[in-house]
A and B are shown apart, each in its own frame.
Chain A
Amino acid sequence: MRHTAKAISTVTSIAALLGSFALSIPVVSNAAEADDIAQGKKIAFDRKKGNCLACHYIEGGALPGNIGPPLIAMKGRFPDKSILRAQIWDSRVSNPNTLMPPFGPHEVMSKSEIDQVVEFIYSL
């Protein structure tokens, strides 16, 4: 499964790359960013990956839990994206007794998956 997911994301990013050749440079980064956000959303909502909806309200996600705070207005609360990433990578750093899984250290998601989830959450 992991391999297929990886393969698909590689294919889509190559497709995005190829498609963007015909266009001007700035669009490349926007397209890549939009792609990361879309991909990050998928991973965040996937029960086997982020499963963030188990605990957080996120716009567009059905039946969210309410153990953690709603993930809204993230840029306001996390002006520094690296702090947001640190929270998602290993939430124990800010709260040693947190209920939130240590996604990075426990390898629930890969580095690049977490990067994409960060892009998505940051866009909320």
Chain B
Amino acid sequence: MKKIAVIASAFCMLLTPLVSSAANPAQDLKDFRKHYTEMFPEIPLHDFVNGVYSVDKDSREQWEAFEEFPPYETYVEKGEELFNKPFKNGKTYASCFPKAEQGIKQNYPYFDKNRGEVVTLELAINECREANGEKPLKYKKGAIAHLSAYIAYKSRGKKGNVKIDSSPESMQWYARGKKHFYAKRGQLNMSCADCHYHNPGKKIRADILSPALGHTSHFPVFRNKWSQSSKSGDGMGTLQRRYGGCNSQVRAKPFKAQSKEYRALEYFHTYMSNGLTMNGPGIRK
């Protein structure tokens, strides 16, 4: 008995610093940034928003050429049309997002104190629809990605400004997202961090891995891969669509888009890029 108590208290002592460090987002953010800026001292901090192209100079030129006539442009326009098209009750999305024109993407996701939940932009879009008597949209591609692309476009130039509320519930969401990012999963036993924290710039087969710093600034994205069969849509996809893809790659069962698990991940993941400039939508392979 005594032994067990001793072990238990030793365990608690071990655990306390862990818990308190998990509850220090500001310090996490500092450490996270430092990791990448030390790993890539030649890359200016603001350039990490360009994802894999910040670390892969070879494909950067090609990507910059794509940006001359960006394939996402027509979807930003579609998103704008949808945004301004009245619902059956005569109201528009502007009734839910009055400041969208000035840029709001940088504030998402946020912790809604009243509900005790993290709210992402895509979740808020569907809640707006439902509040106005419309059916929710599918979460990963299609109209929701167009609306999100339009809102992201209007937010270009703003700095990431996710707030981690100091309430215990908010901290729990943050800690859950952080855990997801660093935890090994799937048959192949790999974490997000294995690929995007420990090995950015390295090649996994023919793909160069992007740093997780700056990952979220340019979503939604147009991906060539997503545009190549009509089944996978028109190329546009949300951040959580990508989460599902990256989970599947390691043969883990993906969570549902906008599940608590992915909202928590998005909360942590986006907070880590706070202060970087919004540049969505983006173009990727």
Q: Do A and B come from one complex?
A: yes
A residues with CB within 8 A of B? 51, 53-55, 63-67, 99, 101-102, 106-108
Do the beta carbons of B190 and A54 come within 8 Å of each other? no
Complex Cα distance, B187 from A107, in Å, reads 8
Name the residue of chain B whose CB is nearest to the CB of A63: B206
Specify which chain A residues have a CB less than 8 angstroms from the CB of B188 in the assembled complex: 101, 106, 108
Specify which chain A residues have a CB less than 8 angstroms from the CB of B207 in the assembled complex: 65
Complex Cα distance, B198 from A12, in Å, reads 42
Complex Cα distance, B189 from A77, in Å, reads 26
- A54-B204, A99-B194 given; A67·B189 CB < 8 A: no
A51 to chain B, nearest CB (A): 8
- Name 20 interchain pairs, CB-CB below 8 A, sorted by A: A51-B205, A53-B205, A54-B205, A63-B206, A65-B202, A65-B203, A65-B204, A65-B206, A65-B207, A66-B202, A66-B203, A67-B199, A67-B202, A99-B198, A101-B187, A102-B189, A106-B187, A106-B189, A108-B187, A108-B188
Among A51, A64, A65, A99, the one with the most B-chain Cβ atoms within 10 Å of its Cβ is A99
Residue tally, chain B, CB below 8 Å to A: 13
Specify which chain A residues have a CB less than 8 angstroms from the CB of B190 in the assembled complex: 99, 101
Contact with A along B175-212 (1 / 0, CB 8 A): 00000000000011110001000110011111100000
Complex Cα distance, B190 from A67, in Å, reads 13
Name the residue of chain B whose CB is nearest to the CB of A61: B205
Do the beta carbons of A65 and B187 come within 8 Å of each other? no
Specify which chain A residues have a CB less than 8 angstroms from the CB of B198 in the assembled complex: 99
- A99-B198, A99-B199 given; A55·B187 CB < 8 A: no
Specify which chain A residues have a CB less than 8 angstroms from the CB of B204 in the assembled complex: 54-55, 65, 67
Specify which chain B residues have a CB less than 8 angstroms from the CB of A64 in the assembled complex: 203, 205
Complex Cα distance, B199 from A54, in Å, reads 13
Complex Cα distance, B187 from A8, in Å, reads 25
Do the beta carbons of A65 and B189 come within 8 Å of each other? no
Name the residue of chain B whose CB is nearest to the CB of A54: B205
A102 to chain B, nearest CB (A): 6
Complex Cα distance, B207 from A67, in Å, reads 11
A50 to chain B, nearest CB (A): 11
Within 8 A of A (CB), among B12-51: none
Specify which chain B residues have a CB less than 8 angstroms from the CB of A106 in the assembled complex: 187-189
Specify which chain B residues have a CB less than 8 angstroms from the CB of A101 in the assembled complex: 187-190
Complex Cα distance, B202 from A67, in Å, reads 6
Among A65, A102, A107, the one with the most B-chain Cβ atoms within 10 Å of its Cβ is A65
B182 to chain A, nearest CB (A): 11
Specify which chain B residues have a CB less than 8 angstroms from the CB of A55 in the assembled complex: 204
Complex Cα distance, B205 from A53, in Å, reads 6
Name the residue of chain B whose CB is nearest to the CB of A51: B205
B196 to chain A, nearest CB (A): 12
B199 to chain A, nearest CB (A): 5
